[in-house]
């Protein structure tokens, strides 16, 4: 597919397109030509006593990180690679729902840019027309027992993926240009950042409960037969949404089991 004109990332254009309140909340926004991973870049700065909220976007990642140790295909000038670091004064287990809340923030940002039909696949794949449009990776430092947990939230969204790079992705994927709704990467970064900061504030005040209704409405797997992949053991069940903490509920043999993100991967068996 022919690629659209490449709009380079520009710090002032991103900041100008953010609401003033979100802009004031942001301690810094770093724009890089190339980095191994925007998450790793901010993990370096992450310290439980670090003040403020810092964001980073890059034109290209040479070692983009996906969930479960997978690489994230990150060619130059094509997509959005965005990370934000922030300290959360809360126990790590209550951060369980934060990655799901992040998915809701991304869906809100895309909706605000006129991208219709976004769905979320537990825990936080961003889907468009059933294909993967983006992913979210949360990484933490600090124990959370005595001190705040520092969370780096990484968001990757496919905007105008070159065919050659896309050939390296091992699952059905799409991008915004293919769906005819490319808002431009600077506007996209601004909307995602603003929604993310707002969602994090809400999460600090009210936890996942504040997002659970919206998450359920975006749930791509609800009532679908799915396959759980827990290493050696593979089991099938029916996805029944999430509980109040963000754990996936799977009906197996008439009983609902809670599934935590660290334990399994999930594949739709439909």
Q: Where on the chain is the footprint of ligand BTN (CB under 6 A)?
A: 37-39, 61, 64-67, 70, 72, 81-83, 125, 135-137, 154-156
The answer to whether the beta carbons of residues 215 and 120 sit under 8 Å apart is yes
Question: What's the min distance (Å) between Cβ of 61 and ligand BTN?
Answer: 6
Least Å from the CB of residue 216 to ligand BTN: 20
Nearer to ligand BTN, 169 or 256 (CB): 169
Active site residue 132: yes
Catalytic residue from among 67, 70, 201, 240? 67
Residues in the chain: 270
Marked catalytic residue, from 132, 178, 185, 187: 132
Who's near 26: CB < 8 A, 6+ residues apart?
15, 18, 53, 54, 55, 193, 197
Q: At closest approach, how far in Å is the CB of 43 from ligand BTN?
A: 10
Nearest in space to 112 (alpha carbons), one of 201, 192, 185, 56? 192
DSSP letters along 47-85, please?
A: -TT--S-EEEEEEEESS-B-GGG-B----TTTSEEEEEE
> In the complex with ligand BTN, which residue's Cβ is closer, 39 or 200?
39
Whether 236 contacts 225, CB under 8 Å: yes
By beta carbon distance, the residue nearest ligand BTN is 135
| Residue among 97 and 156 whose Cβ is closer to ligand BTN | 156
Least distance from C-beta 146 to ligand BTN, angstroms? 28
Q: Taking the CB of residue 24, how many other CB atoms lie within 10 A of it?
A: 10
For ligand BTN, the closer of residues 67 and 267 by Cβ is 67
With residue 127 as reference, give the H or E element that holds it: strand 125-128
Our CB check for ligand BTN shows the closer of 54 and 65 to be 65
CB of 270 to ligand BTN, least distance (A): 20
Question: In degrees rounded to 5, what are phi and psi of residue 144?
Answer: 80, -5
Catalytic residues: 67, 132, 267
């Amino acid at each position: 597919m022919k690629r659209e004109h490449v709009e380079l990332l520009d710090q002032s254009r991103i900041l100008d397109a953010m609401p003033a309140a979100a802009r004031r909340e942001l301690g810094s926004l770093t724009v890089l030509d190339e980095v191994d991973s925007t998450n790793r870049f901010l993990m370096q700065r992450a310290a439980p006593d670090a003040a403020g909220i810092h964001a980073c976007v890059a034109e290209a990642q040479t070692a983009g990180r996906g969930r479960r140790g997978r690489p994230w295909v990150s060619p130059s000038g094509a997509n959005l690679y965005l990370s934000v670091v922030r300290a959360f004064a809360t126990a790590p287990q209550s951060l369980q729902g934060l990655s799901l809340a992040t998915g809701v923030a991304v869906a809100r940002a895309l909706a605000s840019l006129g991208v219709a039909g976004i769905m979320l696949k537990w825990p936080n794949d961003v889907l468009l027309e059933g294909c993967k449009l983006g992913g979210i990776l949360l990484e933490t430092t600090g124990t959370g027992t005595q001190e705040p947990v520092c969370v780096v939230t990484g968001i990757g969204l496919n905007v105008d993926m070159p065919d050659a790079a896309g050939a390296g992705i091992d699952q059905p994927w799409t991008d915004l240009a293919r769906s005819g709704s490319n808002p431009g990467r600077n506007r996209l970064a601004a909307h995602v950042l603003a929604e993310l900061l707002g969602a994090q504030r809400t999460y600090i005040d009210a936890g996942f409960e504040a997002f659970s209704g919206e998450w359920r409405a975006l749930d791509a797997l609800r009532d679908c037969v799915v396959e759980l992949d827990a290493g050696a053991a593979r089991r099938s069940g029916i996805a029944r949404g999430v509980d109040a903490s963000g754990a996936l509920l799977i009906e197996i043999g008439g009983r609902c089991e809670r599934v935590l993100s660290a334990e399994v991967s999930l594949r739709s068996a439909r």
